[in-house]
Chains A and B, each alone.
Chain A
C-alpha cells in the first residue's frame, strides 16, 4: 500500500489539532504547584488528597457535562460503585497481594463503574435535559438503595469496614500522615488528567463538543452521535469509579454516603464553580469548593450550606462559565485596555 499524500486541508487540520494540544506555561506551573503542596502544606495532606479525588470526580463530570453536554446528577453512583468494588477487593483479597494492591484496585473500581456506566449509558441517549436529569438521578438512587440493602456484602448503613489495601505497587505503605495517600492520589489524578486532555483535544473530543453544540446537525454530517455519547459516558464512569476506588483506599472505608445524592450534586457544583467545559475547571472548582467547605464548615455546617447556596445563585445570575470564565473575561478586558492605551 503506497503512502497517501495528505491534502492541504488535512495538513492544516492536523496543525490546528496539534496546536490545540500543546502544553501552556500556566498548565505546567499548575501541576508543579500541585505537587509542591506536599512540602507547602505538610499538615493538610489528607485534605489535599481529598481535593485530588474530588477533582477527579469533577473531571469525570466535565467529560459528560462540560464536553458532551449531558446534564447528569448521577455521577455519585459511579463514584460509589468504584469505592465499593475497590474496597471489597482490598478487604477480601487480603491474603493474595495481587487483589489488594491499590493500583489493581483502581482498575477494579474503575472497571466496575465503567461496566455499569456502559449499561446505563443507553438510558441517557433519549429525551430532554429533564429526562436525563431524572434518569441519571434515578440510577444513582437505585444504586444507593442497593448498597443500603445488600448488608451481607456492603455492610449496609454501617459502611464497609476493614478495607486495608497493601502497599502501592508493593513498595509504598500508606502512612498515618497521609503522605503516600496524597502523592498516590495526585499521581493518579495527573495520569488520568493527561489521558483526558489527550481525549478532549483529539477529533473525538471535538466531535463531543459538536454534539453539545447541536446534536441534530452533528448527526446530519454523519457523526455516530449515540456511539460517541456511549463512549464518553463509559469513560466518565470509569474516571468516577477510579476516584471512588482512591477514596476507599485512602480513607480505608466505604459508606453509603459515597453514593448519596449530595455526592453527585457536589461534583456538578464543583465543576460549575470552576467552569464547565475546561479541563481545569473541575480541578480549580474542587480546590475552591473543598477549601471553602473546610473553612466555613469549621464555623458551623449551616454557614457552609448557606454560602454555597448564595454563591451558586450569584454564579448563575452574574458570572458565566465559573471562575475560569471570570478569569477569561478579566483577561480579555485587561488586554483591550492594554491595547487602547
Chain B
C-alpha cells in the first residue's frame, strides 16, 4: 500500500518536472506545444549516451541533461517557435507535431527503435523497508530531487523579481509589456528553463520509465492531462494534478490492470467538462 503510494508520488513528481515547462509555455504565450516531450527525450537519451559510451557517472548526467535540453530549447525558441506565437492554435499544434515526428525519426535513426535501459549506480538501486513497506532507494532519490526543485521553483516564482515579472506576464502579457517588462526575454528564459527541466526529468526518468523513440508521443498525453487538469495559472495546480495522476496511474495499473488507462482518461474528460480552466485554477477570465 505504502509502496504503491510512494511509487505513485515519485512518478507524479517526475511527471510534474517533465510537464512544468509546458505549463509556462501555455500559460504565458498561449502556445500549444505538443513537442515538449522532445526535450525530455533529449535529456533522457543524452544520459543514456553519456553513461553507456563515455562512462560518465549518473549524477553528472543530470545537470548535463538539464543544460543540453535548455540550450536546445533556447535555440529552437529563438529560431522556430517565436514565429508561431501569433498564429492560430491549429498551426501551433501542427508545427509541434511536425517537430515530434522529426525528433522521433532522428532518434530512431541514431539509436534504433529498441528500448534503452540504463544501469543505475549501486547506491541508488537497493530497496529498504520502512514501516513494513519495501521502498526503492531510487524512488526516494527522485522524490527528494523533484521536491527540492518544486520548492525552489515556487520560491523563485514568489520571492524574486524575475518571478513577479513572470507572474505578471502570465496574468496579462499585454499590460505587462506596457509596464515595461520585457515579456519576450522572460519567455525565452522560461522556455529554456522549462525545456531544461524536461531534460532533467528525462534523465531522472531513465531509471523509472523506459525510453524508446516514441517517447514524446506516448507521454504527450500525460503532460497534457497534467496541464489541463491542473490549470496553467499556478504552479501548485499542475503539481497536485501530477501527483494525483501519478498515484492514480500506478495504483490503477496495480489493482485493476484490466481497466488500464480508462480511469485516467475519463477523469480528464470529466474534469475538462466541469471545469474547463482546470481543477485547481482560479476562475480566471481568460
- Chain B residues within an 8 Å CB radius of A309: 97-105
Contact digits for B80-114, partner A, Cβ 8 Å, 1 yes 0 no: 10011001011101110111111111101100000
Give chain A's interface secondary structure class.
helix
Closest B residue to A135 by CB, please name it: B272
> CB within 8 Å of B: which of A140-170?
141-142, 145-146, 148-149
Contact B83 A317 (CB under 8 A): yes
Contact digits for A300-315, partner B, Cβ 8 Å, 1 yes 0 no: 0011011011111101
Q: Shortest CB–CB separation between residue B94 and chain A, in angstroms? A: 5
With A306-B102, A313-B80, A316-B95 already in contact, the answer to whether A129 and B273 are too (CB < 8 A) is no
A259 within 8 A of B: no
B276 within 8 A of A: yes
* For the complex of A and B, 3 pairs with smallest distance between CB atoms: A312-B98, A309-B101, A306-B105
B259 within 8 A of A: yes
Closest A residue to B98 by CB, please name it: A312
A37 within 8 A of B: no
Q: List 8 interface pairs A-B (beta carbons < 8 Å), by A numbering.
A: A127-B272, A129-B89, A134-B268, A139-B269, A141-B265, A142-B262, A309-B99, A316-B94
Q: Shortest CB–CB separation between residue B218 and chain A, in angstroms? A: 9
A126–B95 alpha-carbon span in the complex (Å) = 25
Contact A308 B269 (CB under 8 A): no
- Chain B residues within an 8 Å CB radius of A317: 80, 83-84, 95
Closest A residue to B84 by CB, please name it: A316
Contact digits for A48-72, partner B, Cβ 8 Å, 1 yes 0 no: 0000000000000000010000010
With A65-B90, A302-B109 already in contact, the answer to whether A312 and B97 are too (CB < 8 A) is yes
Closest B residue to A313 by CB, please name it: B98
Contact A306 B101 (CB under 8 A): yes
Contact digits for B245-276, partner A, Cβ 8 Å, 1 yes 0 no: 00000000000001111100110110011001
A48–B233 alpha-carbon span in the complex (Å) = 48
A146–B265 alpha-carbon span in the complex (Å) = 11
Closest B residue to A265 by CB, please name it: B97
Contact B108 A141 (CB under 8 A): no
**Considering only CB atoms and an 8 Å cut-off, how many residues of chain A contact the other chain?**
41
A128 within 8 A of B: yes
Q: CB < 8 Å: which of A129, A130, A265, A305 contacts B104?
A: A305
B190 within 8 A of A: no
Q: Shortest CB–CB separation between residue B276 and chain A, in angstroms? A: 4
A261 within 8 A of B: yes
- Chain A residues within an 8 Å CB radius of B217: 261
B binding-site residues for A, Cβ under 8 Å? 26, 32, 80, 83-84, 87, 89-91, 93-95, 97-106, 108-109, 217, 221, 224-225, 228, 258-262, 265-266, 268-269, 272-273, 276
Greatest chain A CB density within 10 A among B83, B102, B103 is at B102
- Chain B residues within an 8 Å CB radius of A242: none
Contact A315 B276 (CB under 8 A): no
- Chain B residues within an 8 Å CB radius of A145: 259-262, 265
- Chain B residues within an 8 Å CB radius of A315: 94, 98
A310–B262 alpha-carbon span in the complex (Å) = 33
Contact B108 A302 (CB under 8 A): yes
Contact A149 B262 (CB under 8 A): yes
Greatest chain B CB density within 10 A among A128, A129, A139, A316 is at A316
Contact B90 A71 (CB under 8 A): yes
Q: Shortest CB–CB separation between residue B274 and chain A, in angstroms? A: 10
With A149-B259, A309-B99 already in contact, the answer to whether A123 and B273 are too (CB < 8 A) is yes
A313–B106 alpha-carbon span in the complex (Å) = 15
Q: A133-B32, A145-B259, A148-B260 given. 19 additional CB < 8 A pairs? A: A71-B90, A127-B276, A133-B93, A134-B228, A138-B272, A141-B221, A142-B269, A145-B260, A145-B262, A145-B265, A306-B102, A306-B105, A308-B101, A310-B102, A312-B95, A312-B97, A316-B84, A317-B80, A317-B83
Contact A137 B90 (CB under 8 A): no
A308–B91 alpha-carbon span in the complex (Å) = 15
Closest A residue to B276 by CB, please name it: A127
Contact A130 B32 (CB under 8 A): yes
With A71-B89, A138-B269 already in contact, the answer to whether A149 and B258 are too (CB < 8 A) is yes
Q: Shortest CB–CB separation between residue B221 and chain A, in angstroms? A: 7
A21–B110 alpha-carbon span in the complex (Å) = 52
Contact A308 B106 (CB under 8 A): no
Q: Shortest CB–CB separation between residue B233 and chain A, in angstroms? A: 13
A131 within 8 A of B: yes
Contact B97 A142 (CB under 8 A): no
A133–B228 alpha-carbon span in the complex (Å) = 10
A148–B262 alpha-carbon span in the complex (Å) = 10
Q: Shortest CB–CB separation between residue A67 and chain B, in angstroms? A: 13
A14–B110 alpha-carbon span in the complex (Å) = 61
Q: CB < 8 Å: which of B101, B224, B273 contacts A305?
A: B101
Closest B residue to A300 by CB, please name it: B109
Contact B104 A137 (CB under 8 A): no
A269 within 8 A of B: yes
Q: Shortest CB–CB separation between residue B158 and chain A, in angstroms? A: 26
Q: Shortest CB–CB separation between residue A217 and chain B, in angstroms? A: 18
- Chain B residues within an 8 Å CB radius of A148: 260
A308–B98 alpha-carbon span in the complex (Å) = 7
- Chain B residues within an 8 Å CB radius of A123: 269, 272-273
Q: Shortest CB–CB separation between residue A84 and chain B, in angstroms? A: 17
